[in-house]
A and B are shown apart, each in its own frame.
Chain A
Amino acid sequence: MIEISNLSFRYREGEDLALRNVSLTIPSGQFVGVTGAAGSGKSTLTYAINGIVPHCYPGDFYGAVRIDGHDTAETSLTDLSRLVGSVCQDIDSQMVSSVVEDEMLFGLENFGFPKDEIEGRVTRALADMGISDLRDRAISSLSGGQKQKVAVAAILAMEPAVLVLDEPTAELDPASSKGVFDLLARYARIHGTTVVVVEQKIALLSAYADRILIVKDGGVYLDGAPADVLAHADELRESGINCPRATSLANRLRARGLYAGPVCRNVDDAVAAVEEVIA
């Protein structure tokens, strides 16, 4: 469980607060999607959960963040990284090895996982990400999207209680992006992993997340189930977020008095909505 209470943070070199009085509780096993315009504070929120803030970025830190009861400000980054697995936005800065297999082993060996468990974890995580064939490849020979998959696999192999991912699908093709979200949803459902994922692709969030947070000016602007958040189309647009086309389609039909059903969060919903209109 992640408990954030009255959290505010200002980077040392910054004038404005990057986060403003954020209070949130994310229960174990919840799949939370975070989105918002550039510079809204999304990444800082992920840093506050994995402890990068305040441990690596000095600044003014107010309030508290607790991961399964551990106060992040009072827990060392090493201990935190056992609880919270992170995939950063800049994949190249995350990679430490020159070959995919070594990258997979790095975290597992450093955390002292039993030797007989390691092989199974590596094989499973690579297979889950659909990249078993990349195991012996040099990281420098991989495409941007392939590297992103390796970074996610390396974190999944450690099966942390909390997963924090900052735009993990930015460079992925549509099928792979969907694959990553399928996988994250499965980890949340089956292993009870708490998943917090920052993502610009609102269509993916609305189709998969249990809950969506819209971050604006360092605060949580909207917080709710996807359909409830998507009902605020105008506010979303103002916040730099475009509703999925499937949602917009149903909204336009509603505005013309043709449709009166619930908000559509994906193509399945939109197909059902149109069927209702033309029946």
Chain B
Amino acid sequence: MIRFDHVSAAYAVQTPVVRDASFTIDNGEFVAFVGTNGAGKSTTMRLCNGLLKPTAGRVLVDGVPTTELRTSDLARRVGFLFQNPDRQICCKTVREELEFGFRAQDALTDEARARVDATIERFGFDANAEPYLLNRGTRQLLALASIIVMEPDTIILDEPTTGLDFHECEKVMGAIADLHTRGKTIVMVCHDMEVVADYAERVIVMTAGEVVASGPTFEVLRQRAVLERAGLIAPQVVDVSLRLVERHPELAGTPIATANTLDEMVAAIEAYAAGAKEAAR
């Protein structure tokens, strides 16, 4: 569990980039942080795993303030995927990269090696490939895999799908969704509202360093005023639903007004059209 208790944070002498933020992320949740560039999302992520300590307030991980934990101890509980995989990758082969975390903790046991082998197989990596020669999507997957292999309870992802094509995005997000199914806590910063809509259970909106909204994904993504203030755009299906109801108030109360996914929307329209036909008879 991660708890923010009136947290503020700043870099050097500049004005705080996170201001009086309070929220709790429970074990097993899948939370997405959204908001404009410079809203303080990445800083919040760094606060979660102790890379940055608050200038005011407390960040608690499993009840312990991050100021009282060593970063290396925290790293065991909270894995961190950087925005740019190249800031993370540091070894000469894929296998070494996956073993790196264990080596750093002096814990490259037989069990650890078996986990590395299983990870290589699961992601279909070439164990001897040189990481920097892999394409961007595969480097991102490798960076993610090198965290997954350590099995931290919580995984923090700073824009995990940036610069990936659709297939790569599905692979990366599929691996993350799988971790969530296995009970891990997922905290992600993401600008792609379709990805947020497809995967996150809860959304926390940040604007100018402050948490301005938090709630179940679609409850938040249906609030036009919140989205506008935070520089966000509703996922397209939600946008279609909102606009239809704005233009045709009689649709309020029909499934079209609550359809959030493509499947839901197609079914809602089909049902509505059939009902209209029936009524015409």
Query: Quick one: which of B187-227 are within 8 Å of A by CB?
Result: 191-194
| Number of residues of chain B lying within 8 A (CB) of chain A | 48
B contact residues around A89 at 8 Å (CB) = 163
Residue among A171, A245, A248 making CB contact with B235, cutoff 8 Å:
A245
B contact residues around A271 at 8 Å (CB) = 240, 243-244, 247
> Closest CB-CB distance, A174 to chain B, in whole Å?
4
A175–B234 CA distance with the chains assembled, in angstroms: 11
A contact residues around B14 at 8 Å (CB) = 141
Cβ-closest chain B residue relative to A270:
B240
Q: Interface readout for B23-60 with A: 1 if CB under 8 Å, 0 if not?
A: 00000000000111111001000000000000000000
Q: Would you call B231 an interface residue if the criterion is a C-beta within 8 Å of the partner chain's C-beta atoms?
A: yes
Let me know if B165 and A253 touch, CB within 8 A: no
In the complex, the number of residue pairs spanning A and B with C-beta atoms less than 8 Å apart equals: 125
Main DSSP-derived SS at the A contact region: helix
Q: Would you call B107 an interface residue if the criterion is a C-beta within 8 Å of the partner chain's C-beta atoms?
A: no
Residue among B135, B162, B233 making CB contact with A178, cutoff 8 Å:
B233
Assuming A249-B266, A274-B269, is B166 touching A242 (CB within 8 A)?
yes
A258–B237 CA distance with the chains assembled, in angstroms: 18
Assuming A249-B266, A274-B269, is B239 touching A170 (CB within 8 A)?
no
Q: Interface readout for A170-182 with B: 1 if CB under 8 Å, 0 if not?
A: 1111111110000
Residue among A201, A240, A278 making CB contact with B276, cutoff 8 Å:
A278
Residue among B159, B168, B240 making CB contact with A38, cutoff 8 Å:
B168
3 interchain residue pairs of minimum CB distance: A145-B37, A175-B231, A245-B236
* Apart from the given pairs A170-B162, A173-B191, 14 other A-B contacts in the complex at a CB distance below 8 Å: A37-B167, A144-B42, A145-B38, A170-B163, A173-B35, A173-B231, A176-B36, A241-B166, A242-B166, A245-B194, A246-B240, A253-B269, A270-B236, A278-B272
